[in-house]
Chains A and B, each alone.
Chain A
Amino acid sequence: MKRLLLTALALIMTAALLPLAACHGQKGLPEFRMPEAFDDAGEYEITFWAKNDTNITQVNIYKQAIADFEAAYPNVKVNLRLYTDYGKIYNDVITNIATGTTPNVCITYPDHIATYITGENVVLPIGGIMDDPDYGLGGEKVRFDAPKRSEVVGKYLDECIVAGEYYALPFMRSTEACYINRDMVEKLGYEVPDVLTWDFIWEVSDAAMEQDSDGNYKVNGQKVLIPFIYKSTDNMMIQQLRQKGAGYSDDEGRILLFNDETKALLYEIAEHAEKRSFSTFKISSYPGNFLNAGQCIFAIDSTAGATWMGSHAKHHDIAQDSIVEFETVVRPVPQFDPESPKMISQGPSVCVFNKRDPQEVLASWLFAQFLLTNSVQTAYSQTEGYVPVTEKARQSPEYVDYLSREGEDDDLYYSVKLQASKLLLENADNTFITPVWRGSASLRDAAGTLIENTVRSVRRNEKVDDAYMQKLFSDVTSLYRLDGGSGTNVGKKEFGPLSPTAKTLLIALAAAWVLIGAYFGRNAVKKLAEQRRTNSI
């Protein structure tokens, strides 16, 4: 009877564990093996989750790329799903890893891949595949003019290494830029330097806060002015720390963000937030809208937002009659040491998800590779202040011609956009990325939250002192679960909630353990009682 009960319990537990292992983390997918040849006889349907900057031209480039790829591979159908937010893609991928329904090809960031690869064989490692003589980059059997591995910018390719393996191809690269209303800077008695310093930007911003007796700011004659607005405060903190040579995190996932240099930076930010000469996107809205309305002097945003910047920007979402005329100049983000500028490298990469059918994976890999062809690279990079990620595209006559025509019109050759692209091309050696590990996306969020919370607190007349900083560090550490030490257990949300099936199974598992416990407990009590009885006799 005892044996029977134990066997039954063991069976319940095994039954409960098996489906869990299968559904959570999509374990069980076989490692991809390159087929000998691409199967032209079968029909393959793959899904591409693509991010655009709410830009119809970018969407049309994706659609054209799909049409061109399908022409080369008529038995492959590519379904496009559009996103405008990296965070939404990340969350959807996480949810779909749990259900085994990931897309085939997906625009992504290496920070996100670090979480995706927690599941076994979920994302395709491409280190070896890139060099496959037939189907690798520019391989012999690839049916389009793909770049060879040596033609992809090595630095950008290396940015796709996660946990020692290549898990993505770079798709586009951008950095951040400072878009400046030169007229207002000069009205305040300053000249825009080639390389901005933080001291300069703070000084000019504070100087701009002078008002007349009617409450209008003297520099713009309006009631509204925020001289300096930063869009992505996570980047702001990361770049400031890198420029200072201070800690943020290391390759092993050790968190170094909460240090004295960070505090010092926050105190300085607080000082200018108190004067209202500095604000952020999350607190005040898009820097570009204030810039274009003559209500901001220094707007820091991605080079991929260049078409929203300046009096003649193609894109804007404020009333036409509130846009003022001024000269826009573009500079790298402010520096602590202008002789050694440092700026973030960002921009979309593209990864391939593993599937049971290697032919489906090969079709996906080929499509990902197609996104690096000159036609896609040059067209997409021209939609914003992006740069192509292949030397092949950069050196193409079409792209060289494009760069030479800065300012010819306010559309394709929009001056601000081309200035932004050139800024990155000229500073390629000055860009950096932060270490990627599971949870690095959360650390990035935490870096931004430190600034956002400090600015908010100052605006709410809270005292920002050492006690405040201690509490802020503690709150942010807790919010983003950064106290795990080495980044293995970090993050606000790594996987989606368990499915009802998984929950049921977990409950069954718990119940089984309770039953086992009860059974052995009962036996132990019985044994003890018998022992006592024996002893008392």
Chain B
Amino acid sequence: MKKILCMALVVLFAVTALVGCTKKEPKDAKSKGVMTHAEYMAAEIEAPVVIETYVQAKQSWWENKATLYTADSEGAYFIYNMACTEEEYAKLTPGTKIKVTGFKSEWAGEFEVAEGATFEIEEGNYIASPVDLTDVFGKDELIDHQNELFTVKGLTVEAMDDGAAYWYSYDNSGEEGSDLYFKVKLGEEVYTFTVESYLCGADSDVYKAVKALNVGDTIDVEGFLYWYNGVNPHITSVTVK
């Protein structure tokens, strides 16, 4: 009986230990009153939202308004023209945890925290790893990854209408320093990708890399899955194979 009891206890301990090992603590448990990413996505347009998230990249600052790409371990957010002084903006380095209070909005298909949100910096740091969306491009579920840092591999650079590998602005009406537009083919689909000049200016590696592309090059890219009347990725890195 003693032996059976001992064995039962050993089994119980072992099972408990195993359960303990497989139970995954959320990387960033939310504070009281803060939405999970799923709750944020489920919120109605113009509903008040409070999120805790981590700065992944800064797009721009102007007249005390900051635009950010952010993420937590559950998903990503785009924060448009958040109230932010220049001094505060300097503190928003990649990885910085912020609590953002504002309203959810949608602009041309892009879900975002609307202009005028406020924020406070919190303790914590997190940088998201790019999610590989090579097999997801062209599928309906792509939108589930909106604003995430992503990678797509094995793209072929397609010619713009005039045969060039890239254009300054969408119709080539820009110049050095303007957004870069280039087309890539994945499977049978052709997509237009953008190097957003506020996010990655003319001095950035990706800006230079895109300008060095040739039609027919095979490339891997990394960027943020921005949306403008459909997918409109903002590319942050290009690697020629």
Contact = CB atoms under 8 A, between A and B. Distances in A.
A318 interface: yes
B108 A82 contact: no
Contact of B173 (A58, A282, A285, A493): A58
Nearest to A53: B173
B194 to A, nearest CB: 12
A59 interface: yes
A108 B221 CA distance: 39
B169 A54 contact: yes
Contact of B178 (A82, A283, A459): A82
A317 B170 contact: yes
Contacts of B108: 285-286, 289
Contacts of B189: none
A319 B230 contact: yes
Contact of A460 (B46, B169, B170, B172): B46
A: contact size bracket:
20 to 34
B169 to A, nearest CB: 6
Contacts of A54: 169-171, 173-174
B222 to A, nearest CB: 24
A283 B174 CA distance: 26
Interface string B163-199: 0000001111111001000000000000000000000
B173 A460 contact: no
Contacts of B229: 285, 289, 317-319
Main secondary structure, interface of A, reads loop
A520 B196 CA distance: 58
Nearest to A458: B46
Contact of B63 (A52, A283, A319, A492): A492
Given A285-B107, A459-B46, A493-B63, A52 B228 contact: no
Given A56-B173, A317-B228, A460 B63 contact: no
Interface in A460-511: 460-461, 492-493
B48 interface: yes
Contact of B48 (A52, A318, A460, A493): A460
Nearest to A289: B229
Nearest to B108: A285
A323 B94 CA distance: 40
A101 interface: no
- Identify the interface centre among A58, A284, A315: most chain B CB within 10 Å of its CB: A284
Interface in B180-231: 228-230
B134 interface: no
Contact of A56 (B47, B105, B172): B172
A59 B178 CA distance: 13
Nearest to A452: B115
A482 to B, nearest CB: 16
A14 interface: no
A335 B229 CA distance: 32
A168 to B, nearest CB: 24
Contacts, number: 51
B103 interface: yes
B: contact size bracket:
20 to 34
A55 interface: yes
Contacts of B115: 282
A459 B48 CA distance: 11
Contacts of A58: 173
A58 B230 CA distance: 27
Interface in A138-184: none
Interface string B93-115: 00000000001010110000011
A55 B175 CA distance: 12
Interface in A244-285: 282-285
Contacts of A492: 63
Interface in B50-86: 63
Contacts of B45: 459
Contacts of A286: 108
A493 B64 CA distance: 11
B21 to A, nearest CB: 46
B201 to A, nearest CB: 14
A55 B107 contact: no
Contacts of B107: 283-285
A170 B174 CA distance: 24
A527 B155 CA distance: 84
Contacts of A319: 229-230
A82 B169 CA distance: 11
A56 B171 contact: yes
A456 to B, nearest CB: 8
A34 B153 CA distance: 62
Contacts of B174: 54, 82, 84
Contacts of A284: 107
Nearest to A286: B108
Contacts of A82: 173-175, 178
B136 to A, nearest CB: 19
Q: Report the 3 A-B pairs with minimum CB-CB distance, sorted nearest first.
A: A56-B173, A285-B108, A459-B46
Interface of B: 45-48, 63, 103, 105, 107-108, 114-115, 169-175, 178, 228-230
Given A286-B108, A459-B45, 15 more contacts: A54-B170, A54-B174, A81-B175, A82-B173, A84-B169, A282-B115, A283-B107, A285-B108, A285-B229, A315-B171, A317-B170, A317-B228, A317-B229, A318-B229, A319-B230
20 contacts: A55-B171, A56-B172, A56-B173, A82-B173, A82-B178, A283-B105, A284-B107, A285-B229, A286-B108, A289-B229, A315-B171, A317-B228, A318-B230, A319-B229, A456-B46, A456-B114, A459-B45, A459-B46, A460-B103, A461-B46
